[in-house]
Amino acid sequence: MNLSLYNMLQDFKNFLFPKLCACCDAVLLKDEQLICTFCRNELPLYPNFFDGDHDLHKILYGRVLVDQAASLFYFEKKGIIQNLIHDLKYKGNEDLSFHLGEWLGNILQEAGWQHKIEVVIPVPLHPQRMRERGYNQVEGFGKAIADKLSASYNDGLLKRKSNSTTQVFKNRLARTEVVQNHFYVEGRSDVKDKQILLVDDLVTTGATLEACSLALKEAGVTKLNIATIAISK
């Protein structure tokens, strides 16, 4: 097929199935990828300075000790990041997940994290939700970061017990108690004495990350680091 015909068919395909911005649903222009130029300029970037000032340390203070933390964006209700997280979770936008992982991976690489991480582990989805959606929205994010840091990615080590319901209790303390025992490590020898990066999409109360961290620490992880796509303001 000659090139101009190929381009014409591509244009026609884009006309029938236009690609939309993950933040505002505007039709993307030809040279825009996943997020439109307007939204890219509006993204509430999280300032990563890596000297223990990440808000996650404050959120998890007195609950579990995290070595280093990093996030890409601030999250605000009704803000553009809420749409972006929604696209990841419910529209199966795996390209977006991978793109965001490459983005944060580059930042972490520049900060020298490739010597600090051996295994990247995603927060596991509830098995029932996994069956419904068929994918974990942080998989691409975690894989891209692992790639940038020359670490391995393993989603078979940290497991969620199937009978857990994390959204039942609104109260932070009650939720923590409920979530606490719902994660366990399978194959402890693969995490023992290792430097781990736990990845998740969004931090709000920190209850899930706390529970996962405790399970990993209990299994003998030496350094526990966390990276998320966004963190609540």
User: To the nearest whole angstrom, how small is the minimum distance from the Cβ of residue 22 to Zn ion?
Assistant: 7
* 111 is a site residue for Zn ion (CB under 5 A): no
CB 221 within 8 A of CB 154: no
Q: How many CA atoms lie within 13 A of 58 on its CB side?
A: 7
User: To the nearest whole angstrom, how small is the minimum distance from the Cβ of residue 138 to Zn ion?
Assistant: 22
User: To the nearest whole angstrom, how small is the minimum distance from the Cβ of residue 45 to Zn ion?
Assistant: 15
Give whichever of 80 and 121 is closer to Zn ion, judged by the CB atom.
80
H or E segment and range at residue 104:
helix 94-110
Which residue matches tokens 């209990």?
A: 218
Give whichever of 39 and 121 is closer to Zn ion, judged by the CB atom.
39
CB 205 within 8 A of CB 175: yes
Scanning residues 28 to 67, which ones bind Zn ion (CB under 5 A)? 36, 39
Give whichever of 23 and 227 is closer to Zn ion, judged by the CB atom.
23
3-state SS string for 62-100: CCCCCCCEEEEEEECCCCHHHHHHHHHHHCCCHHHHHHH
* 84 is a site residue for Zn ion (CB under 5 A): no
**Options 21-29, 186-194, 198-206, 209-217: segment touching Zn ion (CB under 5 A):** 21-29
Q: Is 230 helix (H, G, I), strand (E, B) or coil?
A: strand
Q: Which of 19, 20, 24, 152 binds Zn ion (CB under 5 A)?
A: 24
Q: Which residues contribute to the site for Zn ion (CB under 5 A)? A: 21, 23-24, 26, 36, 39
